[in-house]
């Protein structure tokens, strides 16, 4: 596992889907993960320090964990199977560590909310995408070039 951070959010113009971009802490490698609009909003709110009037999914999850006497330890993005990313949330509860299967988007929002480390399986930073629909982002310059072509007007305006 490699420690990572959220490098930013973008909008993929070909799919009209938000993309969360993770960067490896030990290099300039990037990992884009296509996510839903609501999950992008949750991550954007955490990155900007804006809170919602009512709890979002990651707020609720953190509250439930704390109410039960637990503490989020870390989040891991673990694998990619059939074009779907998988993640795990690690929770310390009563001296034991519980592992919970979760979507990466919710897990990333929770990691930001709980201020815990985000880890990514090393092999995910080395994925080569060979089909015409999915660009090869294993090279950080390729992703940077694509993101440069996105104008600010292309991003959705989220209301809080």
Q: Mean pLDDT, consecutive 10-residue segments, the chain of 160 residues?
A: 93 88 90 93 91 89 95 96 94 96 96 96 76 48 56 44
Three-state DSSP class for residue 149: coil
Q: Is the pTM of this model over 0.85?
A: no
Domains and CATH numbers, the chain: 2-147 (3.10.690.10)
The per-residue pLDDT for 39 is: 93
The per-residue pLDDT for 90 is: 98
Q: Are strands 118-120 and 71-81 parallel, antiparallel or unpaired?
A: parallel
């Amino acid at each position: 596992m490699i420690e990572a951070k959220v490098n930013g959010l973008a909008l993929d113009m070909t799919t009209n889907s938000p993309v969360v971009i993770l960067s490896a802490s030990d290099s300039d490698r990037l990992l884009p993960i296509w996510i839903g609009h609501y999950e992008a909003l949750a991550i954007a709110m955490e990155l900007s320090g804006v809170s919602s009037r009512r709890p979002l999914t990651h707020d609720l999850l953190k509250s439930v964990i704390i109410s039960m006497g637990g503490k989020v330890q870390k989040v891991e993005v673990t694998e990619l199977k059939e074009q779907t990313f998988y993640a795990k949330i690690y929770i310390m509860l009563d001296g034991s560590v519980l592992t919970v299967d979760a979507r990466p988007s919710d897990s990333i929002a929770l990691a930001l909310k709980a201020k815990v480390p985000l880890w990514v399986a090393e092999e995910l930073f080395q994925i080569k995408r060979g089909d015409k629909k999915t660009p090869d982002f294993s090279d950080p310059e390729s992703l940077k070039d694509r993101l440069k072509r996105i104008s600010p007007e292309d991003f959705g305006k989220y209301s809080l």
